Structure 1
Amino acid sequence: MAHQNWLITDDGSHRPFGDADMVEPGRYYRLFRFLTELEDILDTFHDDTSRLEVITPLVRKLLVSSYWLQMEYSAPNPATGWSVNFLYREHEYPITVQMVSWLPGHHSTIHNHGTWGIVALVGGQERNRLWKRAPQPQQPDRLEQIDELILNPGDIVALTANAIHSVEPLGDEPTVSFNLYGVTDFSDRYEFDPKTHTAKLF
C-alpha cells in the first residue's frame, strides 16, 4: 500500500503533497540531527504551510532510519483510553516530540493544537474527522464536519495551527503515532463541543 502525506488546513480542507514513498538514502538519521535541522528550518520558514512541507519528509526519514523510535510508546491507559510518551521537550525550544497510543473504542475530543503539528501513524488504523468553524450570531464556536481521512501505518498528516480534527482508532488493535508540535505549552489549544456549539481551552 502506498503511503500518503496529507496537509490539513484551518478551513478543514486537505490535499496530498510531496512524494511519501521517497526516502533520502544515507547514513543513520539520529534524533539530535533531526532536532538541529528543525531549528534551522524554523529560522528560515515562518508560515505553517512552508514549515510543514519541509519538515514532513524529515519526519518520514527519521522514522524509517531510527526504528527504535517506533517502540518508544506506552500502552494506552485503560481508564483514559490513551497514553503519551514525551520523547523531547526543552525549555524555550519550541518543539514537542511525543509517541501517542489509543485503545480501540475510544476517541479524542474535537480539537485544534494552536500550533502546526505533524502526526505520523506507526501502528494500527485511525480515522481523522476534519472540521471547520462555521460561526453563527448566537453560536460563535459552531463547527461543521468537512471530511474524514483514514490513516494507515506510514501515512502522515500535517496540520496548520487552527486546523480542527478528531481522532478515532479503528479495528481491534491500539493505534500508535509519532507526534511533533511547534510549541511546548499548548496554551492556544481548544476542544469543541458540536452539540452545545461551545469551545474551551484544554
Structure 2
Amino acid sequence: MTNHNWLVTDDGNRGAFGNPDTPEPGRYYRLYRFLTELEDILDIFHDDVSRLEAITPLVRKLLVSSYWLQLEYHPPDPSTGWSVNFLYREHQFPITVQMVAWLPGHTSTIHNHGAWGIVALVGGQERHRLWRRAPAPSYPDRLELADEVILNPGDVVALTANAIHSVEPLGDEPTVSFNLYGATDFRDRYEFDVQNQTAKPF
C-alpha cells in the first residue's frame, strides 16, 4: 500500500507534499534525538508550511525506528470514545507529543489546533473532514466542507495552525495515531458547531 503525505492549509485545501516513502529503520532513532532535531528545525524555519515539510520525514523515521512508540497508547474510554497518552510536554518548549486512540462509532468535534500539527496514522482507518471558514454577516464563524481524506496506516496529514478538521474512525477496530503539535497550552484552539454556525474555545 502506498503511503501519503497530505498538507492541509488554513483555507481547507489539501495537497500532497514531500516524500511519503517509509525510510529504512537503519540506526535506532531515539525520541530525545528527534526532539533535538525538532528544536533545530523550529529555530531555522518560522512558517508553518516550511516547518511541516521539514518535520514530517523525522516523524516517519521515528515511527519506523522506535516501535515502542506505536504501543504507547491507552485503550479508548468507552464514555468519550477516545484516549490521549502524552509522551512529551515541557514547560516553555512549544511541543506536545501524544498517542491518540479512537473507538469506531465516535467522531471528534470540528476543531482547529491553534498551532501546526502532524497526525501519523499507526493503526486502523480514519476519515478527516476538512473545513474552511465561510463567514456571513450574521454568522462570522460559519464553515463549509472543503474536502475529506481517508488515512490508512503509514499516512500522514500535516495541518497549519488554523486548518479545521474533524476525525471519524472507520471500520470495526480502534484507530491509533501519533500526534505532534507546535503548542502546549492550545490557547487558540476552537471547536465549531456547523448547525448553529458558532465557535467556542476548545
TM-score normalised by structure 1 residue count? 0.99
1 CA distance for matches of 2:153 and 2:42? 27
Aligned AA for 1:36? T
SS of corresponding position for 2:128: strand
Cross-structure match for 1:57:
57
1:25 Cα deviation from its structure 2 partner: 5.6
Uncovered stretches (5+) of structure 2, i.e. residues with no partner:
none
Cross-structure match for 1:162:
162
Aligned AA for 1:94? P
1 CA distance for matches of 2:43 and 2:171? 41
Runs of 4 or more consecutive aligned structure 1 residues displaced over 2 Å after TM superposition: none
Cross-structure match for 1:9:
9
1 CA distance for matches of 2:47 and 2:38? 14
Please report the RMSD computed on the Cα atoms of aligned residues, expressed in angstroms: 0.8
Cross-structure match for 2:195:
195
Deviations 1:63-113 (A, max 9, x none): 000000000000000000000000000011110000000000001000000
Aligned AA for 1:145? L
Cross-structure match for 2:89:
89
Percent identical across equivalent pairs? 79
Instruction: State how 1:62-141 maps to structure 2 within 5 Å.
Output: 62-141=62-141
1:201 Cα deviation from its structure 2 partner: 0.2
Aligned AA for 1:153? P
Aligned AA for 1:101? A
SS of corresponding position for 2:27: coil
Q: How many residues were matched structurally?
A: 202
Aligned AA for 1:60? R
Aligned AA for 1:56? T
- Asked if 1 retains the 8 angstrom alpha-carbon contact of 2:24 and 2:64, the reply is no
2 CA distance for matches of 1:22 and 1:79? 35
TM-score normalised by structure 2 residue count? 0.99
- Asked if 1 retains the 8 angstrom alpha-carbon contact of 2:126 and 2:152, the reply is yes
1:26 Cα deviation from its structure 2 partner: 3.2
Deviations 1:42-77 (A, max 9, x none): 000000000000000000000000000000000000
